[in-house]
Structure formats: structure tokens, C-alpha cells
Amino acid sequence: MSKKFTAYNLIIKTKLMKTKSLVTIAAILLTGIVYAQNKTTFGVRAGVNFQNLTGKDAEDNDLDNKLKTGFNAGVNAEIPVGIDFYLQPGVLFSTKGAKYENSDDKINLSYIEVPVNFIYKPELGTGRLILGFGPYAAFAVNGKYKPENGNDIDIKFENEISAQQLLTGLYLKRFDAGANILFGYEWANRFSAQLNAGLGLVNIVPKVEGTNTDATTKNTGFGVSLGYRFQ
């Protein structure tokens, strides 16, 4: 047998091995995708928020606000990524804001929020424990300042404003983002209860042209919600 023929056979065998390896990898990936699609579940959730606006004013004094009650409601999916581990993206409508410390004045903010949580759900009793954390992004769709006495004032959303705008209106940034942590329990009948907390990481005070103000305001709070997961 010639060396040329032997080398040719070796090349063919190598190509066949690579092809088999690629087919095997593709089959494993396809199986994983099909498994995830078959096991992905969808759920609904709604509950109450206890929100605040924290930070510092332009004179570097801590904001002195109180918790404001709101609500949240939305849907989510649970995509299995391992034994008892899931990726849980969702979409929520959530109301946030704060009350002023020495009056009944309050700020009401409404957001469309998109959390993406990493969930661990080990079996516990007849149901499952729920532990999770992850980031969220949110977009303000409405905002009002509600004074104790007087008419409501609409909050406008801009990333940067002029000094004149600062004197004639109320402005906040539309975009917010932060981190979630959650803890709960899912019963065998697929109903669940959950305690969650959110920490805003974005300063929602717009930049004022021509100034170097260090004012900061961030959304913070916690909530309790009930959910149901469809099979």
C-alpha cells in the first residue's frame, strides 16, 4: 500500500471523525433546546409594592422620604438551565415613587419593568422553595407629583434639561435599572407566594445643563406577590 493511499485514508478518517463529532454536538444542543422548549413554563404574578426614592439633594443632604404603597402585575417564563435551576425573564407593570416625610405630598411613578432572574427551586415538602436574583431594566410610562393641597403636576421625562426647565417643571429620567432578590414558595398546586426586593442602581435625576449638581435619586423598595404557573 502506497504512502499516498495511506495518507488519503487517514484524511478521510479524520474528516469522518470530525463530522461525527459535529453531528454529536449538534444533536446534544438540539436535544437541549427541545428539552428546554418542552419544559419551559409560563406564569402570572401580582402583588403590592412598598417603594421609596432614596439619595441626596443638591446640598448633599439625604432625601427624607417615606414608603409609598403601590402594586405590580405581570407575566414571566421559566426556562430550565440545570437541575432545579431556571432562567426567569418577565414583563411587569409596576408603580413606584415615595411620600414626603412631613406631608401627604407624594410622587407616583409607573414603569414597564423587565426582570431577568436566575432561579433556584429545590423540592421542599410537597412543593418547591424559590430563591432568585438578577438584574432588571425599567421604562417610565407615567409620573405625577400629587401635593397634599392643590392640583396634580405631571412629571416629564428627559435625560438632560436646561436651568429654565428646572424652574418651570418636574423632570426625571425615563430609564431605570437595578437588581432584584427574591424568596418564596411554590405549592404542588402551582400557586406561589413571594417576597422580593429591588435596588435601583441608576440615578433618575436628569443632568442640568451648565451645572455640576450632585443630586441623586434612586428607586428602592420591596414587595409581596402571589403567582400561578401554567404547565
pLDDT tens for 174-188 read 999 999 999 999 999
| Stretch 118-126: mean pLDDT | 96
| Stretch 49-70: mean pLDDT | 90
Whole-angstrom distance, CA of residue 140 vs CA of residue 122: 35
Backbone angles phi, psi at 165, to 5 degrees: -60, -35
Whole-angstrom distance, CA of residue 93 vs CA of residue 111: 6
Is residue 8 scored above 90 in pLDDT?
no
- What pLDDT, on a 0 to 100 scale, did the predictor assign at position 214? 79
Whole-angstrom distance, CA of residue 90 vs CA of residue 114: 6
Percent over 70 (pLDDT), the chain: 84
- What pLDDT, on a 0 to 100 scale, did the predictor assign at position 165? 81
Q: Which helix (H) or strand (E) holds 99?
A: strand 85-100
CA neighbor of 52 nearest in space, from 109, 3, 103, 102: 109
Give the mean pLDDT of the chain.
Answer: 86
Residue 132: band (very low, low, confident or very high) from pLDDT cuts 50, 70, 90: very high
Residue 88: band (very low, low, confident or very high) from pLDDT cuts 50, 70, 90: very high
Q: Tell me the three state secondary structure of residue 202.
A: coil
N-term to C-term CA, the chain: 63
Between 179 and 4, the more confident residue is 179
Q: Which helix (H) or strand (E) holds 17?
A: helix 3-39
- What pLDDT, on a 0 to 100 scale, did the predictor assign at position 149? 83
Q: What is the pTM of this model?
A: 0.80
CATH code for the part of the protein at 41-230? 2.40.160.20
Would you say the C-alpha torsion 120, 123, 125, 126 has a positive or negative sign?
positive
Number of other CB atoms surrounding residue 60 within 10 Å:
9
How many CA atoms lie within 13 Å of 89's alpha carbon, on the beta-carbon side? 4
- What pLDDT, on a 0 to 100 scale, did the predictor assign at position 116? 97
CA neighbor of 197 nearest in space, from 185, 180, 183: 180
Between 208 and 107, the more confident residue is 107
- What pLDDT, on a 0 to 100 scale, did the predictor assign at position 36? 46
Q: Which residue has the cell 421542599?
A: 124
Is residue 25 scored above 80 in pLDDT?
no
Is residue 111 scored above 60 in pLDDT?
yes
- What pLDDT, on a 0 to 100 scale, did the predictor assign at position 16? 53
Whole-angstrom distance, CA of residue 74 vs CA of residue 112: 9
Query: What is the number of H-type helices and E-type strands within the chain?
Result: 2, 14
Sequence-distant (≥ 6) Cβ neighbours of residue 176 within 8 angstroms? 111, 137, 138, 139, 140, 200, 202, 204, 219
| Stretch 105-127: mean pLDDT | 96
Residue 104: band (very low, low, confident or very high) from pLDDT cuts 50, 70, 90: confident
| Stretch 110-119: mean pLDDT | 97
- What pLDDT, on a 0 to 100 scale, did the predictor assign at position 122? 96
Q: Where are the domains of the chain?
A: 1-39, 41-230
- What pLDDT, on a 0 to 100 scale, did the predictor assign at position 181? 97
